[in-house]
Protein backbone atom coordinates (compact mmCIF):
# COMPACT_ATOMS: atom_id res chain seq x y z
CA UNK A 1 0.00 0.00 0.00
CA UNK A 2 2.81 2.42 0.82
CA UNK A 3 4.66 1.68 -2.39
CA UNK A 4 1.46 2.01 -4.41
CA UNK A 5 0.64 5.40 -2.87
CA UNK A 6 4.21 6.52 -3.56
CA UNK A 7 3.95 5.51 -7.21
CA UNK A 8 0.47 6.89 -7.82
CA UNK A 9 0.60 9.95 -5.55
CA UNK A 10 0.98 13.54 -6.65
CA UNK A 11 4.38 15.22 -6.76
CA UNK A 12 4.64 18.78 -5.50
CA UNK A 13 7.69 20.77 -6.50
CA UNK A 14 6.67 24.03 -4.80
CA UNK A 15 9.12 25.59 -2.38
CA UNK A 16 6.40 26.11 0.24
CA UNK A 17 5.51 22.41 0.26
CA UNK A 18 8.66 21.42 2.14
CA UNK A 19 8.57 24.27 4.65
CA UNK A 20 7.29 23.42 8.13
CA UNK A 21 4.21 25.35 9.19
CA UNK A 22 3.13 25.25 12.83
CA UNK A 23 -0.23 26.47 14.18
CA UNK A 24 -0.71 28.98 11.40
CA UNK A 25 2.53 30.80 12.20
CA UNK A 26 5.56 30.86 9.91
CA UNK A 27 8.94 29.97 11.36
CA UNK A 28 10.87 32.81 12.94
CA UNK A 29 14.09 31.22 14.18
CA UNK A 30 15.87 27.91 14.43
CA UNK A 31 14.01 24.91 15.84
CA UNK A 32 16.51 24.51 18.68
CA UNK A 33 16.16 28.02 20.05
CA UNK A 34 17.31 28.38 23.66
CA UNK A 35 14.71 29.58 26.14
CA UNK A 36 15.65 31.23 29.41
CA UNK A 37 15.40 29.05 32.52
CA UNK A 38 13.20 31.64 34.22
CA UNK A 39 10.43 30.79 31.77
CA UNK A 40 10.37 27.22 33.09
CA UNK A 41 10.62 28.41 36.70
CA UNK A 42 7.57 30.61 36.29
CA UNK A 43 5.73 27.68 34.72
CA UNK A 44 6.62 25.43 37.67
CA UNK A 45 5.55 28.10 40.16
CA UNK A 46 2.26 28.44 38.32
CA UNK A 47 1.63 24.68 38.51
CA UNK A 48 2.51 24.55 42.21
CA UNK A 49 0.27 27.45 43.17
CA UNK A 50 -2.47 26.23 40.85
CA UNK A 51 -2.48 22.95 42.74
CA UNK A 52 -2.90 24.99 45.91
CA UNK A 53 -6.13 26.37 44.49
CA UNK A 54 -7.35 22.86 43.64
CA UNK A 55 -6.73 21.67 47.20
CA UNK A 56 -8.45 24.73 48.64
CA UNK A 57 -11.51 24.22 46.42
CA UNK A 58 -11.72 20.62 47.62
CA UNK A 59 -11.41 21.84 51.22
CA UNK A 60 -14.13 24.46 50.65
CA UNK A 61 -16.52 21.77 49.46
CA UNK A 62 -15.93 19.58 52.52
CA UNK A 63 -15.59 22.35 55.12
CA UNK A 64 -18.69 21.26 57.06
CA UNK A 65 -17.50 17.66 57.35
CA UNK A 66 -13.93 18.49 58.36
CA UNK A 67 -14.79 21.06 61.02
CA UNK A 68 -12.14 22.96 62.96
CA UNK A 69 -9.48 20.31 62.38
CA UNK A 70 -9.89 20.71 58.63
CA UNK A 71 -9.77 24.48 59.05
CA UNK A 72 -6.47 24.28 60.94
CA UNK A 73 -5.04 21.94 58.30
CA UNK A 74 -5.99 24.43 55.58
CA UNK A 75 -4.40 27.28 57.56
CA UNK A 76 -1.17 25.27 57.93
CA UNK A 77 -1.26 24.42 54.21
CA UNK A 78 -1.74 28.06 53.23
CA UNK A 79 0.99 29.09 55.71
CA UNK A 80 3.53 26.70 54.20
CA UNK A 81 2.74 27.88 50.69
CA UNK A 82 2.92 31.51 51.81
CA UNK A 83 6.37 30.86 53.28
CA UNK A 84 7.39 29.27 49.97
CA UNK A 85 6.09 32.31 48.09
CA UNK A 86 8.01 34.69 50.37
CA UNK A 87 11.15 32.58 49.89
CA UNK A 88 10.77 32.72 46.09
CA UNK A 89 10.17 36.45 46.25
CA UNK A 90 13.26 37.04 48.45
CA UNK A 91 15.42 34.94 46.11
CA UNK A 92 14.23 37.07 43.13
CA UNK A 93 12.85 33.96 41.44
CA UNK A 94 9.68 35.86 40.48
CA UNK A 95 11.52 38.83 38.99
CA UNK A 96 12.25 38.50 35.27
CA UNK A 97 14.68 41.39 35.19
CA UNK A 98 16.57 40.53 38.36
CA UNK A 99 20.33 41.11 38.31
CA UNK A 100 22.66 38.22 39.02
CA UNK A 101 22.64 37.18 42.66
CA UNK A 102 25.65 37.72 44.85
CA UNK A 103 27.35 34.52 45.88
CA UNK A 104 28.86 34.74 49.35
CA UNK A 105 31.68 32.34 48.47
CA UNK A 106 32.92 33.96 45.28
CA UNK A 107 32.16 37.64 45.92
CA UNK A 108 30.09 40.08 43.89
CA UNK A 109 28.26 38.85 40.85
CA UNK A 110 29.04 40.04 37.33
CA UNK A 111 26.71 42.76 36.20
CA UNK A 112 25.69 42.91 32.53
pLDDT at 3 over 70: yes
What is the three-class DSSP state of 47? helix
Residue 75 lies in a domain: yes
pLDDT digits (tens, 9 = 90+) for 59-92: 889 888 989 998 999 899 889 988 988 888 888 8
pTM of the predicted model as reported, rounded to 2 decimal places: 0.50
Closest CA to 38 of 92, 82, 86, 81: 92
Cα separation of the two ends of the chain: 60
Residue 56 lies in a domain: yes
Residue 67 lies in a domain: yes
Write out the residue range of the structural domain in which residue 56 sits: 34-96
Q: Angle at the Cα of 80 (from 87 to 40), degrees rounded to 5? A: 50
Structurally, the chain folds into a number of domains equal to: 1
pLDDT digits (tens, 9 = 90+) for 20-29: 666 666 667 6
Residue 112 lies in a domain: no
Residue 60 lies in a domain: yes
CA distance 54 to 60: 10
Residue 49 lies in a domain: yes
CATH number, domain containing residue 57: 1.20.58.1610
Residue 39 lies in a domain: yes
DSSP 87-106: HHHHTTTT-TTPPPPPBTTT
CA distance 78 to 82: 6
pLDDT at 105 over 70: no
Residue 6 lies in a domain: no
Amino acid sequence: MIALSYLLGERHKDRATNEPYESGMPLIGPARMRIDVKYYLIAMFFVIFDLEAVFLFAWAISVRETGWLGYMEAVVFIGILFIALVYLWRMNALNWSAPARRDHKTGPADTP
